[in-house]
């Protein structure tokens, strides 16, 4: 197999890469998301929705999704919900319910750790009151396939958190006359979500941010999508809508040594790679022998994929991602932390020794019996995860993304008397006489 025929691009040995080459590996996805031309186009679309509401959504659907609907058809009808329930096969319905159960259980553990307080000094108790945000908008992609699992991963935490108003926007199925994926509607029904709207992606994000005649305005919008969808989420923050940074094209990183089963390794490398031509799949290993074996096995398994998934996976491994050789597993963790992947798997003899040093990853899957596929769909840990290195500052979508924390304190006279001198000193230093007076009046 010649170098040009290798399915996994050999990026190089990490210690031999210069700073520019390293940055080229680490800084992925952002140039496309923040491309000036894309930002300009998305900004115009957002402004159209802000000014014209439903009519702008109809125009966007016709222009970008090639389907025409009337404004009154933007909301998914009860009849569509009923037909969706009848059309989904029993095995898929069971799988969706299984997925919801696992995600619900995970998030119920989170919300069980609710309000708290403790006595920080005699007479002073401090803590937090935890409450849900009032509204949330969820974007479910549709362009490259059917993704009911995304709504499970977004909607279940929002429901468990207790969000009062939840709205969903989802583009119509490609090539349809505006139909929304029935499996997505079944998930919405299972979760008790009835505000579902068919919309072009960026336009739908704008509709959630501003509200239209049909789509309710929400305070937070989350959901993975194309660079245009991600760009739209960034742009609407200028108008006061909150989003999560960033849920962009899929990416994965596997640390593996000679003990890894190469067949399973190849399968897991292809797992996230098949999401799209803008995905990233990366192998980090100290073993040249393992990489050579993986090249053969990836080529074999890649041929088994049908188009367009084969081309997607080839791009994710052969152009965007690839393989990095390291001196040892310690350096492998350094590379992984610098990369801060959305999805990470550790396939080595002693994974726990590496886990202790992992600081930046959307998720970490331990061993080859914990494949990306199981985490994408069923395990229950968050699967809507930060990309493009944002795992360095944020985590996946859980119930915590839909809750807010309010500090609560109660002090008695003895506690305030103890704090009196410190508050007064700080008030004087910062030039706030009314602050000082508010304390002193209580002891005069």
Residues labelled as active-site residues = 342-343
- DSSP-derived letter for residue 391 is G
Backbone angles phi, psi at 283, to 5 degrees: -110, 130
10 burial via Cβ count (<10 Å: 0-12, 13-18, 19+): middle
Half-sphere exposure for 234 (CA within 13 Å, toward CB): 20
* Helix (H) or strand (E) run with residue 337 in it: helix 329-339
- CA nearest 5: which of 296, 280, 279, 266? 296
Q: Report how far residue 420's alpha carbon sits from residue 5's, in angstroms, rounded to the nearest whole number.
A: 74
| DSSP of 263-296 | HHHHHHHHHHHTT-TT-EEEEEES-HHHHHHHHH
Distance (Å, whole) CA 409 – CA 427: 20
Tokens linked to 190: 């299972």
SS3 35: coil
Query: For 166, phi and psi rounded to 5 degrees?
Result: -120, 125
Q: Are 115 and 406 in contact (CB under 8 A)?
A: no
Q: Count the neighbouring beta carbons within 10 Å of the beta carbon of residue 23.
A: 11
Q: Please, which residues have CB within 8 angstroms of residue 175's CB and are 6 or more apart in sequence?
A: none
Q: In whole angstroms, what separates CA 101 from the centre of its chain?
A: 20
Taking residue 312's Cβ as centre, other Cβ atoms within 10 Å add up to: 21
Q: Give the residue among 61, 87, 83 at the shortest CA–CA distance from 74.
A: 61
Own/partner pairs for 32-40, CB < 8 Å, 24+ apart? 32/227, 32/278, 33/227, 33/230, 33/231, 33/234, 33/246, 33/248, 33/388, 34/231, 34/234, 35/227, 38/227, 38/228, 38/231, 39/231, 39/235
Question: Other CB atoms closer than 10 Å to residue 382's CB: what's the count?
Answer: 24
Distance CA 107, CA 160 (A): 7
CA angle in degrees (0–180, nearest 5) for 133-140-276: 135
């Amino acid at each position: 197999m010649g170098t040009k025929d290798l399915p996994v691009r050999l990026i190089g040995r990490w210690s031999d890469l210069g700073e520019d080459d390293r940055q080229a590996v680490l800084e992925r996805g952002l140039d496309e998301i923040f491309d000036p031309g894309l930002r300009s186009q998305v900004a115009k679309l957002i402004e159209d929705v802000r000014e014209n509401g439903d009519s702008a959504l109809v125009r966007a659907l016709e222009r970008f999704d090639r389907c025409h609907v009337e404004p009154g058809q933007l909301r998914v009808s009860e009849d569509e919900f009923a037909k969706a329930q009848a059309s989904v096969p029993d095995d898929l319905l069971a799988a969706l319910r299984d997925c919801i159960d696992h995600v619900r259980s995970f998030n119920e553990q989170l919300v069980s750790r609710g309000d708290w307080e403790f006595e920080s000094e005699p007479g002073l108790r401090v803590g937090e009151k935890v409450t849900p945000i009032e509204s949330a908008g969820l974007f479910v992609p549709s362009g490259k396939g059917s993704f009911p699992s995304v709504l499970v991963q977004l909607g279940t935490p929002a429901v468990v958190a207790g969000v009062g108003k939840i709205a969903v926007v989802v583009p119509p199925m490609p090539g349809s006359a505006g139909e929304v994926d029935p499996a997505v509607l079944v998930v919405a029904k299972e979760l008790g979500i009835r505000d579902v709207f068919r919309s072009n992606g960026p336009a739908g994000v704008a509709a959630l941010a501003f509200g239209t005649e049909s789509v309710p305005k929400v305070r937070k919008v989350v959901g993975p999508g194309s660079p245009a969808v991600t760009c739209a989420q960034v742009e609407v923050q200028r108008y006061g809508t909150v989003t999560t940074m960033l849920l962009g094209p899929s990416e994965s990183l596997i640390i593996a040594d000679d003990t890894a089963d190469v067949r399973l390794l190849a399968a897991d490398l292809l797992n996230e790679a098949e999401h799209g031509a803008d995905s990233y799949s990366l192998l980090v290993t100290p073993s040249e022998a393992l990489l050579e074996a993986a090249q053969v096995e990836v080529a074999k398994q890649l041929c088994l994929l049908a188009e367009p998934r084969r081309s997607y996976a080839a791009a994710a491994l052969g152009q965007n991602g690839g393989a990095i050789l390291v001196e040892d597993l310690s350096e492998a963790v350094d590379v992984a932390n610098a990369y801060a992947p959305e999805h990470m798997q550790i396939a080595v003899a002693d994974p726990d020794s590496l886990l202790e040093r992992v600081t930046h990853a959307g998720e970490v899957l331990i061993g080859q019996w914990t494949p990306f596929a199981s985490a994408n769909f069923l395990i229950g840990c968050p699967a809507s995860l930060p990309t493009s290195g944002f795992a360095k500052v944020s985590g996946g979508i859980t119930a915590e993304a839909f809750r807010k924390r309010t500090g609560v304190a109660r002090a008695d006279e003895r506690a305030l008397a103890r704090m009196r001198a410190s508050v007064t000193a700080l008030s004087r230093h910062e030039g706030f006489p009314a602050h000082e007076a508010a304390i002193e009046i209580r002891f005069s």
